[in-house]
């Protein structure tokens, strides 16, 4: 009987002294942020707890969107597209660029999801008189019924999701989120630049 050959494991280079060693708490030099307004007594511990909380919230928001979409047989993103069209349908028709802007996705990606909703009979598309290359979107009767059927469920979910916020909290939270949407876009560009520098080196 042949003995099993154990795979060779490449040796791991020892971490440089500047890295955090096992068993040692993060110190001042290991802070994950430098802005003084985000530090408490020079520590970033509260900031890191905030980031972990934001990550948890982001994951759960995505799960909620998927579950709401399931109520009408859609993905979370398709549900979101349908809601954006519904919000604009009464006043003015939505364009593909409106959808892309609202969802922070590319026009090509929005077009793909819009086509799926049209195939399901939930959206109609008509030529955009101000842009021959574009289309305007509207809910079909089936799409309108789907949105109307979701509203009571959305109310129940959102009342729990935002429980405990005062009017002042809500106003402040909205302002922070608007700022963070822009900040996250810029921070992604910074991360891309760091990766490019690493790859170039």
Task: Report the share of the chain in percent with pLDDT over 90.
Answer: 67
Checking if the pLDDT of 118 tops 80, the result is yes
Q: What is the full DSSP assignment across 77-107? A: HHHHHHHHHHHHHTTSPEEHHHHHHHHT--H
Q: Give the residue, 87 or 66, on which the prediction is more confident.
A: 66
16 vs 60: CA distance, rounded Å: 37
pLDDT tens for 135-152 read 889 999 999 999 999 999
pTM of the model as a whole:
0.75
Which of 52, 60, 41, 114 is closest to 82 using CA atoms?
114
Q: Give the residue, 130 or 185, on which the prediction is more confident.
A: 185
Q: Give the residue, 163 or 104, on which the prediction is more confident.
A: 163
pLDDT tier at 126, thresholds 50, 70, 90:
confident
pLDDT at 80: 93
Q: Residue 63 half-sphere exposure, CB side, CA atoms within 13 Å?
A: 7
pLDDT tier at 85, thresholds 50, 70, 90:
very high
pLDDT tier at 98, thresholds 50, 70, 90:
confident
pLDDT at 21: 57
pLDDT tier at 2, thresholds 50, 70, 90:
very low
104 vs 130: CA distance, rounded Å: 23
Per-domain residue ranges of the chain: 43-153, 165-201
Provide mean pLDDT across the span 32-40. Answer: 95
CATH class of 43-153: mainly alpha
pLDDT at 8: 45
Provide mean pLDDT across the span 116-131. Answer: 89
């Amino acid at each position: 009987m042949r003995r099993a050959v154990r795979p060779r494991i490449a040796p791991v280079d020892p971490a440089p002294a500047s890295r955090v060693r096992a068993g040692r708490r993060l110190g001042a030099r290991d802070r994950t942020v430098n802005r003084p307004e985000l530090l408490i007594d020079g520590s970033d511990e509260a900031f890191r707890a905030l980031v972990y909380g934001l990550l948890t919230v982001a994951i759960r928001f995505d799960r909620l969107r998927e579950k709401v979409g399931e109520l009408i047989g859609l993905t979370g993103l398709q549900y979101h597209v349908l809601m954006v069209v519904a919000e604009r349908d009464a006043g003015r028709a939505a364009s593909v660029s409106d959808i892309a802007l609202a969802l922070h996705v590319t026009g090509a990606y929005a077009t793909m999801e819009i086509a799926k909703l049209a195939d399901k009979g939930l959206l109609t598309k008509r030529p955009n008189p101000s842009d021959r290359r574009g289309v305007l979107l509207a809910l079909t009767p089936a799409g309108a019924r789907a949105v109307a059927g979701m509203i009571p469920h959305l109310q129940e979910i959102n009342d729990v999701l935002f429980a405990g916020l005062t009017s002042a909290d809500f106003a402040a939270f909205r302002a922070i989120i608007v700022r963070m949407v822009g900040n996250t876009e810029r921070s992604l560009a910074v991360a891309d630049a760091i990766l490019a520098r690493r790859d170039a080196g």
